[in-house]
């Protein structure tokens, strides 16, 4: 059974700092990995999708990497802003596990002025 873990569970940083969020998964047989942002009480906003054949994806100040063999992904946020405060979730689409996403429990990020 695929399990996804995110560390740390919560993180507080001053504005302007660069930061890294971690995601690990137990089964490397995946189609892709997706990073989401979730604001309190809201739905999920897709940030980045990395296919299993890719090593990284970039969108603006966000960069996500994937090391499938070691079961790890990182989300790098450059020059953090208070508007980045949210919960960040990673999810994997396993091979052979149907079409569902398996999610981690998220990292709650707070960027302080």
Partner 1 sequence: DTGVSQNPRHKITKRGQNVTFRCDPISEHNRLYWYRQTLGQGPEFLTYFQNEAQLEKSRLLSDRFSAERPKGSFSTLEIQRTEQGDSAMYLCASTPQGSSGGNSYEQYFGPGTRLTVT
- H helix or E strand, kind and range, residue 88: strand 86-94
User: How many angstroms separate the CA atoms of 30 and 24, rounded?
Assistant: 12
Span from 11-19, 46-54, 56-64, 72-80 in contact with partner 1 (CB under 8 A): 46-54
Q: Does 44 bind partner 1 (CB under 8 A)?
A: yes
Q: Does 42 bind partner 1 (CB under 8 A)?
A: yes
CA distances from 14 to 40, 70, 106 (A): 20, 31, 20
Span from 13-21, 37-45, 63-71, 72-80 in contact with partner 1 (CB under 8 A): 37-45
Pairing status of strand 107-112 against strand 10-14: parallel
Q: Does 96 bind partner 1 (CB under 8 A)?
A: no
DSSP letter for 100, please.
-
Q: Does 56 bind partner 1 (CB under 8 A)?
A: no
Q: Does 34 bind partner 1 (CB under 8 A)?
A: yes
Question: Cβ of residue 4: shortest distance to partner 1, in angstroms?
Answer: 7
């Amino acid at each position: 059974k695929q399990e996804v873990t995110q560390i740390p569970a919560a993180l507080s940083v001053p504005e302007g700092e660069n930061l890294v969020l971690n995601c690990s998964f137990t089964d490397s047989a995946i189609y892709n990995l997706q990073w989401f942002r979730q604001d309190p009480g809201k739905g999920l906003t897709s940030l980045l999708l990395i296919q299993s054949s890719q090593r990284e994806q970039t969108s603006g100040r966000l960069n996500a990497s994937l090391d499938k063999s070691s079961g790890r992904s990182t989300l790098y946020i450059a020059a953090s802003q208070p508007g980045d405060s949210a919960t960040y979730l990673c999810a994997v689409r396993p091979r052979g596990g149907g079409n569902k996403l398996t999610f981690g429990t998220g990292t709650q990020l707070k960027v302080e002025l």
